[in-house]
Amino acid sequence: MFKWLNAFKWMAAGWMALALSGCGYNTLQTTDEDIKATWAEVLNQYQRRADLVPNLVNVVKGYAAHETDVFTSVTQARARVGAIQATPELINDEAAFQKFIAAQGELTGAISRLLLVAENYPQLKADGLFRDLQAQLEGTENRITVARNRYIGAVKLYNVTVRSFPSNLTAMLFGYKTKPSFTVENEAAIAVPPKVDFGTPAAPRTAPVPAGDSDASGKLSPGY
């Protein structure tokens, strides 16, 4: 009797495993882990950028000490980013996630204004340390873009599983919910169609007349 009971337990466990697999449980587990990994990389690159900011500010100050408003905005934006607890659980809270992204956007804008200052100071642009920091910052921004795109892809796969039938039933059973993702920044600006100005059309260019083809009257030149 005990043998039959044990066999029944194994059969029930096997049937449950197959049922959960067919209902998206394994996919939910896999995609959830992918989101955690890609989000960790996003945070890593954002932190790398934040670490570069103080050195960049100090270098620019050496040449443009009176640009206090720019320095203040960068410092404050960085402080707001640092005040947010960027934990793995942040992606489970839509409001906290959007607050974090907004703070990062403010820092991006502040850094852009800081770099614009350098355009007015040729000596600063020629400074080796400034050029090195600028190159590091550009590389970090590229890595942030790559990390964000990977996160967006991971969230897309996960959210599709959470919302699709029958895996949505499994998601509800185990408490899996959709997760927030990045949106296009400055949507209002990109919604404005670009201005196209072709200007005054250039006068048509006439092909040069080969020597010996014809004279001004259109008659063939001698020799034909």
- pLDDT tens across the length of the chain (224 residues): 555 555 444 444 444 444 444 578 899 999 999 999 999 999 999 999 999 999 999 999 999 999 999 999 999 999 999 999 888 888 999 999 999 999 999 999 999 999 999 889 999 999 999 999 999 999 999 999 999 999 999 999 999 999 998 888 989 998 999 999 997 554 343 334 334 333 434 444 444 445 554 444 444 444 43
Report the distance separating Cα 76 and Cα 86, nearest Å. Answer: 17
- Look at residue 183 in the predicted model and tell me its pLDDT: 77
Q: What are the C-alpha distances in Å from 7 to residues 16, 19, 20? A: 14, 18, 20
- Look at residue 81 in the predicted model and tell me its pLDDT: 94
Does the predicted model carry a pTM greater than 0.75? no
> How many alpha carbons fall within 13 Å on the CB side of residue 176?
26
Report the distance separating Cα 222 and Cα 224, nearest Å. Answer: 6
- Look at residue 87 in the predicted model and tell me its pLDDT: 82
Distant-in-sequence, close-in-space partners of 102: CB < 8 Å, separation ≥ 6: none
Report the distance separating Cα 57 and Cα 70, nearest Å. Answer: 9
Report the distance separating Cα 78 and Cα 106, nearest Å. Answer: 9
Residue 21 parent element (H or E): helix 2-22
